[in-house]
């Protein structure tokens, strides 16, 4: 990319990471099943990118991160609020912490 973007071509990227505890998980397979379900729901509902970003070798811990790209910050904020609600209500996962970043 070269030069500055013309006015009106601004892009907002919102990133939200949850630190999760998966108390019923007894194996990495159990953990992957819970995370896959969450990632699929988030992707289908909000068209976000979602990935496990830490604790891949632990059975009952996970970091799940989503990213949304929009031309309006208000829209990106709404998507991340709704995603946070879904993750907070997810069966088999307890939110220990959540952090957001904006670019």
Q: Would you say residue 10 lies in a domain?
A: no
Q: Tell me, yes or no, whether 15 lies in a domain.
A: no
> Containing domain of residue 66, as a range?
25-97
Residue with tokens 């946070």: 84
Residue 17, domain member (yes or no): no
**CATH code assigned at 59:** 3.30.70.1120
On whether residue 84 sits in a domain, the answer given is: yes
- Residue 80 exposure: Cα atoms within 13 Å on the Cβ side: 25
- For residue 58, tell me if it sits in a domain: yes
Render pLDDT for 55-96 as a digit per residue (tens, 0 to 9).
Answer: 999 999 999 999 999 999 999 999 999 999 999 999 999 999
Task: Look at residue 9 in the predicted model and tell me its pLDDT.
Answer: 72
Over residues 14-41, the pLDDT tens digits come to: 999 999 999 999 999 999 999 999 999 9
The whole-model pTM stands at 0.87
pLDDT band, residue 6 (cuts 50/70/90): low
What is the domain count for the chain? 1
- Give Cα 16 distance to the centre of its chain: 5
**Residue 89, in any domain of the structure:** yes
């Amino acid at each position: 990319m070269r030069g500055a973007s013309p006015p009106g071509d601004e892009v907002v990227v919102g990133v939200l990471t949850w630190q999760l505890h998966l108390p019923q998980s007894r194996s990495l397979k159990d953990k992957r099943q819970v995370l896959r379900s969450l990632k699929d729901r988030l992707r289908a509902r909000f068209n976000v990118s979602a990935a496990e970003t830490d604790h891949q070798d632990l059975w009952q811990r996970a970091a799940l991160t989503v990213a949304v790209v929009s031309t309006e910050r208000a829209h990106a904020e709404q998507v991340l609020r709704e995603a946070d609600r879904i993750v907070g209500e997810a069966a088999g996962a307890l939110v220990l912490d959540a952090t957001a970043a904006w670019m």
